[in-house]
């Protein structure tokens, strides 16, 4: 089994890998539960927000020269209004929250501790900069979704084992086009939080 290297960078240092990272996101998010019919142009614009933020973080998993996984994060206060709004409405100080954009990892590399490393490195980055809370959001699909694979197990147990707690009061919707669907539709999303204090 090959050794996977983990590399952390910030802000504009990701520029040489942005195209590769965009393709990785599209590939991984095609699978359930996201079922994302992604557009490279959208991905490039989305990732540029992180690249332009000097306090962002990228944790890259590499097999040789190939990018096989990545995790991102940035201060919630620097992200777009649709991510901040649920926290502002609930009375959070958004300046205290570090937001994780995503963790994506090709299926053949899962089960090797990389997901734990993604969380730990981002927590360390956030704690070093004085953030007291880290957060991410996850899509919630119905149990009877027709494209749910047999034996599918959501990552809730893993996230809880790493100290994250689901906060259904911090819910929102984001829209994207599902594979096989003609138009974008709203998807329910719920935030998960961990205190660093």
Residue in this structure with the two tokens 């942005």, named with its chain if needed:
18
Q: Are 100 and 196 in contact (CB under 8 A)?
A: no
Q: How far apart are CA 70 and CA 61, in angstroms?
A: 6
Quote the CA–CA distance of 46 and 123 in Å, as a whole number: 22
E strand or H helix at 25, and its extent? helix 18-29
Q: Tell me what pLDDT residue 95 has.
A: 97
Question: Tens-of-pLDDT digits for all 197 residues of the chain?
Answer: 568 999 999 999 999 999 999 999 999 999 999 999 888 888 988 899 999 999 999 999 999 999 999 999 999 999 888 889 999 999 999 999 999 999 999 999 999 999 999 999 999 999 999 999 999 999 999 888 988 999 898 999 999 999 999 999 998 888 888 888 889 888 999 999 999 98
Q: What is the pLDDT of residue 55?
A: 94
């Amino acid at each position: 089994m090959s050794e996977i290297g983990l590399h952390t960078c910030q802000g504009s240092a990701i520029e040489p890998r942005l195209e590769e990272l965009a393709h990785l996101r599209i590939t991984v998010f095609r699978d359930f539960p996201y079922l994302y019919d992604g557009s490279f142009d959208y991905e490039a614009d989305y990732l540029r927000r992180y690249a332009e933020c000097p306090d962002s973080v990228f944790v890259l998993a590499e097999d040789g020269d190939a990018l096989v996984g990545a995790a991102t994060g940035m201060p919630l206060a620097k992200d777009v209004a649709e991510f901040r709004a649920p926290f502002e409405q609930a009375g959070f100080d958004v300046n205290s929250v570090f937001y994780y954009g995503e963790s994506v990892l090709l299926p053949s590399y899962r089960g090797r501790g990389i997901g734990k490393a993604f969380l730990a490195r981002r927590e360390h980055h956030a704690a070093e900069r004085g953030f007291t809370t880290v957060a991410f959001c996850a899509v919630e699909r119905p149990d009877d979704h027709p494209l749910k694979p047999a034996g599918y197990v959501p990552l809730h147990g893993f996230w809880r084992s790493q100290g994250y707690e689901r906060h259904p009061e911090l819910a929102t919707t984001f829209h994207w086009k599902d594979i096989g669907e003609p138009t974008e539709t709203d998807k329910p999303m719920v935030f998960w939080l961990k205190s660093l204090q």
